[in-house]
Amino acid sequence: MKRALLLPLVVASVCRAAAAQSPADEAAVRALQQQQANAWNAHDIDAYAGLFAEDAHVINVLGWHWQSRAELKAKLGQAFASVFARSRLTIGQVNVAFLAPDIAVAHVRWSMTGALSPTGAESDTPEAGIQTVVVTRRGGAWRIVDFQNTNSQPERAFPSPK
């Protein structure tokens, strides 16, 4: 019985927190995504890594799991100097949902040109994808705490069963 009474209060609390977000908060989360592209296109690993919390988890398009800002900086810094040296990242559609006043999730469409595969080959390189980005506001600044990046292609119907 107690659970039945608590559930509406929890739901109302979450909905109120999500609805209470200011346009400035949503704009800040969206701006963080554009800052990601700006730092990437400058191949500035310090600026790029600075968008992430120190304890961030990052899963890149290859499924590699980096478990801190320092690991991201070290490994992506190597890639900026080689396979991503001529890459250009463009941020497209960004959908933002607030889970709490200081926590949001963004789904970010992106496209890229000029990237090479990890082996240095020009084939099989990411051209478009979607990121799931969880951000938190810490000390007044929004930072990425969890980042999942997935290559994508246009959706199409599955084949009919035979």
The answer to whether the CB of 39 falls within 8 A of the CB of 91 is no
- HSE value, Cβ hemisphere, 13 Å, CA-based, for 76: 27
CA 160 to the chain's CA centroid: 34
- Residue 4 pLDDT > 80: no
pLDDT for 123 equals 62
> What are the C-alpha distances in Å from 129 to residues 69, 81, 100?
22, 22, 26
Output the pTM of the full model.
Answer: 0.82
- Residue 18 pLDDT > 80: no
Would you give the DSSP letter of residue 94?
E
Nearest in space to 40 (alpha carbons), one of 94, 89, 73: 89
The structure tokens 């400035």 sit at 24
Considering the chain, what is the average pLDDT of its residues?
87
What is the C-alpha radius of gyration for the chain, rounded to an integer number of angstroms?
18
User: Domain 22-151 belongs to what topology?
Assistant: Nuclear Transport Factor 2; Chain: A, (3.10.450)
- Which whole number is the average pLDDT over 122-143? 88
Q: What is the pLDDT of residues 84-124, one digit of tens each?
A: 999 999 999 999 999 999 999 999 999 999 988 877 777 66
